[in-house]
Structure 1
C-alpha cells in the first residue's frame, strides 16, 4: 500500500512531500494475514501540517484523545485462521498490544470491544460481519460503510478470504 502526503514548499505552493510505503505497517507473525497500518494521525489542536511531517512515529495510542484522529487500515484473515492448531493466542495478544496500544487494552477474549470514538469504517475489499452487543450480525461487503458511535462490537470474517478495511477514528467525549 502506498501513501502520498502533500505539503507546501518554501513559496507556499502545494507539493508532494512524501510518496512511498506506509512507514508504520506491521504484518503479524502470530496470525499470518493480519496486517495493521497507521497511515496518519492527528492530536487535539494540531494545525494542518505544511511540511507533511510524519506524525505516526510519535503515536503512543491508537485511541485518539477527544479532537484527535487515527487513520487505520486493517487486513484481517478469515476467522478460521484462529482455529488453526498453530495459532498462538498469547503471541497474538502480545503483538496486538505492541502494535495497537490503547485499542488492544480494550479487547475482550471474544474480540468484542468498545472505543470512546466515532469511527468511520469502509470495507475496501472482501466481506465481513459486524457483530453488536445483542448478538445481531450485519454482513458488509466492498464499498459498504459503517459509522460506529462508541458501541460495543466485534468484526467477524466468515468469508474464507482476507478482508481489508479503512477506519478513521475520531476521539470523542463520552455522553454516558
Structure 2
C-alpha cells in the first residue's frame, strides 16, 4: 500500500431476523494489492456481484475472492478503489511483455493491448462498462486517439474502449470504479489495426 493511503470504511447493509434493515459490522476492503511494486497502483477490492439481477440476501457475506481479478464476474459487477501514484519512468518505459505481465498479475493478461507505437505502455481493453469517479487528485485518461484530464468530482463512463490511466500530477489520485460485465457488439469486437 502507498505511504499516503488511507483505508476507507466499507459499510454493508442487510436484514435482521425480523426483516428490519441493519448495518453489518464494518469490514475493511476484501483485498488490497499493490500492482507492479513501488510506483504501481494500489487496488482496494470493495465488493462484487456474481449475477444480474443481483441476489439480495438477508445477511450478505463478503464475496469470496482470494486474489485480484481485473474484470467483474460474468453477468456481474465489481466496485473497487484504485490509488494511482504519480507516474514515473518505471511505467513510461515498460515493454509490451512487461505490461502484459502486470495485467497477468491482475488475472487478465489478455486485456493488455500494448504494442510499439501505443500512446501509453499500459493500454488495455475489457468487455465492460466502467463508471470511474475521481475522489481525490487528477488523472489523464489516454485513448487511441486523444486524452483528457479528469479531476476530483469528474465521472468517466468508459465503454469497452482501449485506454490507459496516466497520473502526471505529482500527487496520488484516488478513483472509484464500478465495472459492469458486458459484451462487444460485432462492429467493435475485433479492434481495427
With normalisation by structure 1, the TM-score equals 0.83
Q: Using the alignment, how far apart are the partners of 1:130 and 1:84 within structure 2?
A: 15
Distance across 2 between alignment mates of 1:58 and 1:26:
11
Deviations 1:135-170 (CA, angstroms, capped at 9, x unpaired): x11010000000011111111111111111110010
Residue 23 of structure 1 deviates from its aligned partner by: 2.5
- Deviations for 1:21-53, whole angstroms, at most 9, x for unmatched residues? 213112357124621011000112441132120
Q: Corresponding residue for 2:38?
A: 31
TM alignment of 1:101-120, pairs within 5 A:
101-102=107-108, 104-109=109-114, 110-120=121-131
- Runs of 4+ in structure 1 deviating by more than 6 angstroms, as ranges, are 89-93
**How far apart are the structure 2 equivalents of 1:3 and 1:81?**
34
Look up the SS of the partner of 2:88 in the other structure. helix
CA distance in 2, matches of 1:60, 1:141: 26
- Equivalent-residue separation in structure 2 for 1:173 and 1:83 (angstroms): 29
1:17 equivalent to 2:28? Answer no
Once the two structures are TM-superposed, the CA of residue 67 in structure 1 deviates from its matched residue by 2.7
The yes-or-no answer on 1:121 pairing with 2:132 is yes
Q: What is the total number of aligned residue pairs between the two structures?
A: 171
* Cα RMSD after superposing both structures: 2.8
Which structure would you say has the larger RCO, counting Cα contacts within 8 Å and 6 or more residues apart? 1
What is the aligned partner in structure 1 of residue 85 from structure 2?
A: 77
Gaps of 5+ in 2: 1-7, 115-120, 187-193
